[in-house]
Structure 1
Amino acid sequence: MPRPGETARRRGRRQGEPVSKEAVLAAAKTRFARDGYEKTTLRAIADDARVDPSMVLYLFGSKEQLFRESLRLIIDPAVLVSAFAATGGDPADIGTRIVATYLGVWEAADSAQSMRVMLASATSNPDAHEAFRSFMQDYVLTAVSGVLGGGEQARLRAMLAASSLVGTAMLRYVMGIAPLSELPTEDVVRLLAPVVARYLTADAGELGLPE
């Protein structure tokens, strides 16, 4: 009869086999999307990725940091920047492309459930909230404000646009509040695009941005 330690080693990763950070992230994304932040444990993620729990901590430091990094698999800031750059700076296109790209993440089959559960977690758990906050500030707002030229005004513009996008997502996809939840996607894009474009491109004086 094999000793308990031998059985555990056979179920897990072979000794000397390299640990893939991407595999751990993929396992974390799946777990967070299925169970939410509070019910997900590092041990469960480690089991799914076939690594030792200590390796998960070594790679990411904490469950909060792992949650933050998992968000990048769903909302890639580079995709939003690409949508912005594809407009050539045309205000008429900027809002449409960014809103359509963002809503597309919420409605794609491979990310819709993850987005709903992870945003719900961010509003109900303080650690998940902090992870989401730092993800928005360190990745999304930094990337978008960089396209706008950088600086505090650019970050504020990006935050104002994000507030419209995240608020819409919360009401439409997480809480499912009508009539917003019942509108066709193209109508939501048409209605929200001018607001997002204005925050990103309107004259600072017109918006009343602090100097």
Structure 2
Amino acid sequence: MARTGRRPGRQDTREAILSAARSAFAENGFDGASIRQIAGAAGVDPALVHHYFGTKDQLFVAAMDFPLDPAKILPQVAAGGIDGMGERLVRMFLTIWDGPAGAAGVALVRSAVRSDLAARLLREFLTTQVLRRALDHLDVDPSEVPTRGNLIGSQLIGLAMMRYVIKLEPLASAAPEAVVAAVGPNIQRYLDQPLKLF
């Protein structure tokens, strides 16, 4: 008689959970996916998902295969309040993408262009792990947070595409502070100016 319960081997179990998580997050979004649902699809107990990955946020970051957890770096960006946040956000973005994590970022963007599943995962990652964390604690109208987040995301993903994927000059080799000075004010406008869109 076959035994039920844990899958054999730690790596097999982790990969089964990550695969189920990617599918669940892509199909249902971060908010709609549950640990119980992911565990069921992976054929494991929900406690095992928590054992390997901790919280749902940590599982999502692991499923995205991104080497940095936004929950650990975005508080620095938001700490100074809304004034100057556009420049801080761009500076942090460039620091990450110019560092060792940049290769993972390029892979995510390239995958999102080629695959609908990857695009949905990246969209959820940006919305729930990056933009929501950056904007939720600011003094902005909650009904405007999605639109402001979309506009900020369009700037940052556009910057990533041009600087790191397509490598369009002179942007690709521009000094980080020059990019901060050029792009930061746009981000700041999306943060604190009245919206005249939609």
- Bin the TM-score by the shorter chain: 0.5 to 0.7
Root-mean-square deviation (CA), in Å? 2.9
| Aligned equivalent of 1:89 | 82
| Aligned equivalent of 2:196 | 208
The two structures have a TM-score, normalised by structure 1, of 0.64
Is the counterpart of residue 51 in structure 1 residue 10 in structure 2? yes
The two structures have a TM-score, normalised by structure 2, of 0.67
Query: Aligned pair in 2 of structure 1 residues 165, 105: CA closer, same or farther (>3 Å)?
Result: same
How far apart are the structure 1 equivalents of 2:141 and 2:129?
A: 13
Would the aligned equivalents of 1:95 and 1:195 in 2 still touch at CA under 8 Å?
yes
Deviations along 1:46-67, one digit per CA (max 9) or x if unpaired, are: 9xxx635245324651545599
How far apart are the structure 1 equivalents of 2:93 and 2:82?
A: 18
Residue 183 of structure 1 deviates from its aligned partner by 1.5
Deviations along 1:78-97, one digit per CA (max 9) or x if unpaired, are: 52342122x2332xx21111
Question: Number of paired residues?
Answer: 157
How far apart are the structure 1 equivalents of 2:10 and 2:105?
A: 26
Residue 116 of structure 1 deviates from its aligned partner by 1.1
How far apart are the structure 2 equivalents of 1:151 and 1:188?
A: 29
% same residue: 25
Letter in 1 for 2:119: H
| Aligned equivalent of 1:185 | 176
How far apart are the structure 1 equivalents of 2:180 and 2:18?
A: 39
1:4-153 alignment runs, 5 A limit: 51-58=10-17, 61-64=20-23, 68-70=60-62, 71=64, 73-74=67-68, 76-85=70-79, 87-90=80-83, 93-108=84-99, 110-148=100-138, 149=140, 151-153=142-144
Would the aligned equivalents of 1:153 and 1:209 in 2 still touch at CA under 8 Å?
no
Which of structures 1 and 2 has the bigger CA Rg?
A: 1
How far apart are the structure 1 equivalents of 2:113 and 2:165?
A: 11
Residue 143 of structure 1 deviates from its aligned partner by 1.4
Structure 2: gaps spanning 5 or more residues: 1-5, 26-57
Would the aligned equivalents of 1:99 and 1:189 in 2 still touch at CA under 8 Å?
yes
How far apart are the structure 1 equivalents of 2:152 and 2:61?
A: 22
Would the aligned equivalents of 1:68 and 1:132 in 2 still touch at CA under 8 Å?
no
DSSP-derived class of the 1:155 partner:
helix
Which consecutive segments of 4 or more residues in structure 1 shift more than 6 A?
A: none
Letter in 1 for 2:127: Q
Letter in 2 for 1:119: V
